[in-house]
Amino acid sequence: MAWRKLSTIFMACALVALAAGYGAGSSKTSLPTGVELATGGPLLEYFQATHPGQEAIVYSRADVNNDQGVDLVVIFRAGKENNAMLAVLGFPGSYQCTNEVPAPVSDQVIQFKDIDDKPPLEFIVQGRKGTNYGYAIYRVEGTNLEDLFGEGMKDCC
């Protein structure tokens, strides 16, 4: 009986380790393009189809317009020296891009956070340009991406 219990605990630990390893792997943003396409799914494919030649740098999935369907926030290369961000909204059978806003040049992080305790979900974007750090909070209203609050974004975008 003791052996059986021990082996059950061992199995559980192995599963947790496996899950942790998988989680760490899937959160990486510097995967090869083929894998990125696979993890970004049809929302990323829609972005790439509507923005040819504009490379997606960082993206993250969440429901940002509170319609229970998954959406994709994408930071992408808009020009040689500047990046932009938009959200691809997933609707039943179709997709739509929000307006674009300026995004940091490097070290971009997208973090979803319900700031005001009511839907839709807000998200925080941070990053830098050289040594200048900035961040801003965004929310999708309808199909409009709105900048709620920010600091230092002019110097890092």
- Coil vs helix vs strand at 24: helix
The residue within the footprint of Ca ion, chosen from 40, 48, 57, 65 (CB under 5 A), is 65
Stretch near Ca ion under the rule CB under 5 A, chosen from 7-15, 37-45, 59-67, 141-149:
59-67
Alpha helices in the chain (DSSP H): 2-26, 33-50, 153-156
Q: Could you tell me if 76 and 50 are in contact, meaning their C-beta atoms sit under 8 angstroms apart?
A: no
98 contributes a contact to Ca ion by CB under 5 A: no
Residue 138 C-beta: closest distance to Ca ion, Å: 14
Q: How far is the CB of 112 from Ca ion (least distance, A)?
A: 12
Select 90 or 127, whichever has its Cβ closest to Ca ion: 90
Closest contact distance (angstroms) between CB of 87 and Ca ion is: 9
The percent of the chain in helix, strand and coil, each rounded to the nearest 5, is 30, 40, 30
